Amino acid sequence: MKFLILGLFMLGLFLGLSAGPKDDHVYQVISSHPHDVEELKNHTETIHQKGRLWIVRLKENAPKELLEHLRPLRGGEDHYSFVGRLITNKVFKSKPVDYRGLINQLSLENIKNEVYWLSNFETRYAGSDENQLATNGVAKKLESLGYTVKKICYHPEACSLVAEKTGTILNREVIMVMGHIDSVGEYFAGADDNASGVSVILEMARVLKDYNNNKTIRFFISNGEELGLIGSTQYATQLERAKQLKNISLVINMDMVGYNTTGVVELETDPEFEEHAQWMAGVAAKYTKLKTKISLGAYGSDHVPFLQRGVPTVQTIEDWENKNPCYHMECDRPDALNYEYATEVARLNLAAVLLKDNE
């Protein structure tokens, strides 16, 4: 059912009334993406094409996967006994995704530089001038990477950012990564909480900028987290009203991913979403050096408003038993952070996004 809703590409088994079901290699294709039509042409011969109506015959050597991803649709066309079939993006992928190649592009130096940059605003307290400068600076960086960036403000002087790269195939399905930009207001602080999370987002966005994403990849930079999850609650409510929460297949929140001495990352969610945390733990085992600890019972950060609304959300956060001793203090400075660790968290979250995108 999900496929029916999401399907932008329908490869329909076309059974003309006159032809009957014998000619089972003839398909109707509906696609608005010339790129994918080109891909499909490698495996088909065109029988008829008019406007968006395109009827093809599969070549003998068409990949088996093409058929594996077909499924019947109900409904019909006026003149045909029509059994539509849907094809997922997998068959259109000309090249396999080089997960490790992409993950290895993540740069520790870039993450570190961004943490230093964000920690050099006098404060990032939500609503302050410096918070706005930092937020605008992040928006500019994301725009220069090719993302479309929207501001969502809960107050004229306190805005969150939504940066998006629309999916080329299943563009209604969304994978979201978020982290808060505001700090508790200590001067020149908030390096771990949460310049680290925003810096990892910027680095993930850089690596993903030329990646051909199937689904829509969205980064949400929240504001007012420290004042009571204001920006994330506002955005979750807005998506709920627009009935867009159901399109989100996974949300990853990063809050404090820079201080660590144990190699442990916590994967925090609510019990009903434990399987998502387990899945992330598997990703971590395969693509990172991190040890994972699953904590069930989300509290105190931007994942909460999404979990409360039934969205699968996992927070990646440093080992809370050995958390930053400068938590919410003026000494939360960039020189105390472990950038190898932050880069490992970036590897985990980038791998998760890429794998979700190709599910």
For Zn ion, which residue of 36, 182, 193, 332 counts as binding (CB under 5 A)?
A: 193
Binding window for Zn ion (CB under 5 A); candidates: 31-39, 189-197, 257-265, 332-340 = 189-197
User: Judged by CB, which is closer to Zn ion: 36, or 226?
Assistant: 226
User: Judged by CB, which is closer to Zn ion: 56, or 181?
Assistant: 181
Instruction: For the CB of residue 121, give the shortest distance to Zn ion in the complex, in Å.
Output: 16
Instruction: For the CB of residue 184, give the shortest distance to Zn ion in the complex, in Å.
Output: 8
Strands (E), 281-354: 291-296, 313-318
255 binds Zn ion (CB under 5 A): yes
In contact, 56 and 46? CB cutoff 8 Å: yes
Instruction: For the CB of residue 190, give the shortest distance to Zn ion in the complex, in Å.
Output: 8
Q: Report the distance separating Cα 114 and Cα 191, nearest Å.
A: 10
For Zn ion, which residue of 28, 110, 194, 269 counts as binding (CB under 5 A)?
A: 194
| 113: preceding bond cis by omega (within 30 degrees) | no
186 binds Zn ion (CB under 5 A): no
**H-run or E-run covering 258:** none
Number of residues that bind Zn ion (CB under 5 A): 3
268 binds Zn ion (CB under 5 A): no
Q: Report the distance separating Cα 340 and Cα 257, nearest Å.
A: 11
Instruction: For the CB of residue 141, give the shortest distance to Zn ion in the complex, in Å.
Output: 20
User: Judged by CB, which is closer to Zn ion: 203, or 255?
Assistant: 255
Q: 64: exposed, middle or buried (C-beta count within 10 Å: 0-12, 13-18, 19+)? A: exposed
Binding window for Zn ion (CB under 5 A); candidates: 45-53, 73-81, 254-262, 279-287 = 254-262
Instruction: For the CB of residue 256, give the shortest distance to Zn ion in the complex, in Å.
Output: 6
Count of helices and strands (H, E) across the chain: 11, 13
Strands (E), 51-169: 53-58, 80-83, 148-155, 158-165
User: Judged by CB, which is closer to Zn ion: 194, or 223?
Assistant: 194
What mask of x and - would describe binding to Zn ion in positions 198 to 237, judged by CB under 5 A? ----------------------------------------
Nearest to 285 by CA among 339, 344, 356, 204: 344
Strands (E), 245-306: 248-254, 264-269, 291-296
Binding window for Zn ion (CB under 5 A); candidates: 192-200, 246-254, 283-291, 336-344 = 192-200
Binding window for Zn ion (CB under 5 A); candidates: 14-22, 53-61, 107-115, 249-257 = 249-257
Chain positions contacting Zn ion, by CB under 5 A: 193-194, 255
